[in-house]
Structure 1
């Protein structure tokens, strides 16, 4: 079902290539424009979640696409940081492995007609902390690498909790 929250989520998908184009451009203030695009993605994420909950506009497709849009933006930013040597290959691999497995797992469950669950508080906190780490890395803040590894560890714990919750939500269904 197409509604305002879902339109905002779809808009976030378009922000992913926009970010990459701007980040790798020769524009004079490309770093600031890149950060503005990331912030716009974050703001639209908050707004679409608020509208969906406030006006009971939560849809199955929105529950699937919303975290996918978040993960694709994070993957794009991490990819840009890897290419520009602001993060190590190991950090990028850890993030890509986690996000790609979550995308595949959620998609598989959705395609099998199983229940998916919206992000919980831990998932939202992890996303916010990833953005803090990304901004710190983009602006080369001291300690950003250490903070990133803390967030990566937290993200794996959050992922484990998500997998347990989604399996629990589907425990009465056939495997």
Structure 2
């Protein structure tokens, strides 16, 4: 009986690339298509329409988590999804903030501050992608959660006595949005500096 070195172990085949037409991408597309409906309902500005706008906003927000989880767990990540998913997120929150400001329910400077941060950091990610990827942080996830909570409270036709809860939630969302934006700027600077020393 001869003993020798074990033969090479065959590597498991890599999974095939995800199809563009998958559930995760369809949910992202659905979220984008819901934005005009949401704005239309919110601009009607009555209790019934407000509740409808909140329902659409809630559904769109839930699909954001579902499509991300599906894409990761079922290997459905595509280049389209990487681009469309953040666009869908910014379109939904941006449309909500702008519409609330148009209705006179949210100060314009709050909307502008949040939008400048969101659009600026998104563009920054594309600019520094040649040096590396800035990973999503826990602060970024907290920021998204606070924004959705605050916007949802502003959309709901709350009694006047409860409205301060919405103000506090929006203030918290604004603070975390700005702080995490500054953190991303420092991360991008460090990433660029590290790449320059290689």
Distance 1:65 1:144, change over 3 A: same
Aligned residues: 172
Distance 1:27 1:136, change over 3 A: closer
Where do residues 121-160 of structure 1 align in structure 2 (5 Å cutoff)?
121-139=138-156, 140=158, 141-160=163-182
CA shift at 1:75, angstroms? Answer: 0.6
Structure label with greater radius of gyration: 2
SS across alignment from 1:30: helix
Whether contact under 8 Å (1:22, 1:30) holds in the other structure is yes
Normalised by the length of structure 1, the TM-score is: 0.82
Q: Match of 2:83?
A: 64
CA shift at 1:15, angstroms? Answer: 1.2
Consecutive unaligned residues in structure 1, runs of 5 or more: none
Whether contact under 8 Å (2:42, 2:50) holds in the other structure is yes
Decide which of 129, 132, 136 is 1:119's aligned counterpart.
136
Q: Does 1:24 align with 2:43?
A: yes
- CA-to-aligned-CA distance 1:63-97 (integer Å, 9 cap, x gap): 33212211111110001110111111221121121
Q: Match of 1:4?
A: 23
Q: Match of 1:50?
A: 69
The two structures, once aligned, show a CA RMSD in angstroms of 2.7
Whether contact under 8 Å (1:64, 1:116) holds in the other structure is no
- CA-to-aligned-CA distance 1:21-53 (integer Å, 9 cap, x gap): 221237772101101111111111111011111
Consecutive unaligned residues in structure 2, runs of 5 or more: 1-18
What is the rounded CA distance, in whole Å, between the counterparts of 2:135 and 2:24 in structure 1?
Answer: 14
What is the rounded CA distance, in whole Å, between the counterparts of 1:65 and 1:20 in structure 2?
Answer: 19
Normalised by the length of structure 2, the TM-score is: 0.73
What is the rounded CA distance, in whole Å, between the counterparts of 2:24 and 2:188 in structure 1?
Answer: 23
Distance 1:119 1:15, change over 3 A: farther
What is the rounded CA distance, in whole Å, between the counterparts of 2:185 and 2:76 in structure 1?
Answer: 24
